[in-house]
Amino acid sequence: MRSRLPTTNDTPAMQQRVITIVLLIGLFFSLSLLVSGMSGWRLPDDQQGYAPVQPIAYSHRLHAGELQIKCGFCHSAATMSQYAAIPSSDVCMKCHAFVTASFNVMREELRLADETKNLLAKVEGKPESEIPALTKQALEDLHEQSDALQIPSDQLKILYDSLGLDDQLQPIEGKTPKSIPWVRVHNLPDYVCFNHQAHVTAGVTCQRCHGPVETMDRVRQFASLSMGWCVNCHREASERGIDGHPVSASINCTVCHH
């Protein structure tokens, strides 16, 4: 039995099927690209997960986590003002006028200091002639390694440059100090008033709103900070108290919108 050859009448139908298949494939890939791209879209004022790159890679994990520096040391305004405020460069220099290297480098510096101390203890009180040449060379090597570690890290150089300071922290002639252009992470609408002082003095921890910042190398918006989220938090605080203390957290509109 012979197979039927396609006729000219079959050609438009086949072309239609091919076009339909091609269009469906194109639609599938277009929707896939659209869905993947939508992951970066945000509704107005919804920035949960927002973690912008900062001009200096300041690590809260290092400072608040490993070094256990209290939030209030840098954000001192949070206890006395509506705003927590971004610390000025002067606050950074309280430490980094003396700590001029990264944490890992400082650990290495401490290790070298311990080795140097141990070697010096072995030769203490001995005349120069009785100190082995290998020990002398080891001390010189440790000294050179220690000097090399004193060079500021790249991130600290950005801080020093903003203040118009060179690697030896001396003012650069003709250099004008300028502010570091930090990128704001938490952006509430203009019609919302959040008072840090009221919350901090009531015993609300920073982590309640900002999440576990002590684990973040780059700060991100942890909570949605939506009106519903805030209202539920006020209801919960009024019902359960804060840190064992009873509070009356109002849900009146004028508390946040005034």
When pLDDT is averaged across residues 155-160 and rounded to a whole number, the result is 90
* Residue 80 located in a structural domain: no
CA angle 104, 178, 76 (to 5 degrees): 65
> In whole angstroms, how far apart are CA 108 and each of 25, 135, 209?
58, 20, 36
Residues 188-213 pLDDT 10s: 988 999 999 999 999 999 999 999 99
* Residue 88 located in a structural domain: no
First to last CA, the chain: 88
* Residue 200 located in a structural domain: yes
At 171, is the secondary structure helix, strand, or coil? strand
| Confidence (pLDDT) at 100 | 79
**Quick one: tokens of 73?**
């040391």
Distance CA 84, CA 213 (A): 14
Helix (H) or strand (E) run with residue 95 in it: helix 89-96
* Residue 162 located in a structural domain: no
* Residue 82 located in a structural domain: no
At 165, is the secondary structure helix, strand, or coil? strand
Look up residue 180 and give its amino acid.
I
* Residue 101 located in a structural domain: no
| Confidence (pLDDT) at 1 | 52
Distance CA 219, CA 49 (A): 9
**Quick one: tokens of 229?**
């989220």
* Residue 222 located in a structural domain: yes
When pLDDT is averaged across residues 150-169 and rounded to a whole number, the result is 85
Distance CA 216, CA 185 (A): 13
> In whole angstroms, how far apart are CA 39 and each of 34, 47, 49?
9, 12, 11
Would you say the pTM of this structure is higher than 0.85? Answer: no
Q: Name, in order, each residue with C-beta under 8 angstroms of 150's C-beta and a sequence gap of 6 or more.
A: 100, 101
Please determine, for residue 3, whether its predicted confidence score (pLDDT) is greater than 80: no
**Quick one: tokens of 213?**
């910042």
| Confidence (pLDDT) at 106 | 62
Q: What integer best gives the mean pLDDT of the chain? A: 82
> In whole angstroms, how far apart are CA 223 and each of 81, 110, 155, 158?
22, 39, 28, 30
Please determine, for residue 83, whether its predicted confidence score (pLDDT) is greater than 80: yes
| Confidence (pLDDT) at 135 | 57
| Confidence (pLDDT) at 93 | 92
Total count of domains within the chain: 1
Q: By the 8 A CB rule, do 53 and 218 touch?
A: yes
Please determine, for residue 147, whether its predicted confidence score (pLDDT) is greater than 70: no
* Residue 96 located in a structural domain: no
| Confidence (pLDDT) at 39 | 57
| Confidence (pLDDT) at 128 | 61
When pLDDT is averaged across residues 99-127 and rounded to a whole number, the result is 69
Which has the higher per-residue pLDDT, 188 or 120? 188
The domain containing residue 233 runs over which residues? 47-55+182-258
Q: By the 8 A CB rule, do 200 and 79 touch?
A: yes
> In whole angstroms, how far apart are CA 231 and each of 25, 128, 189, 206, 235?
46, 75, 16, 17, 6
| Confidence (pLDDT) at 12 | 72
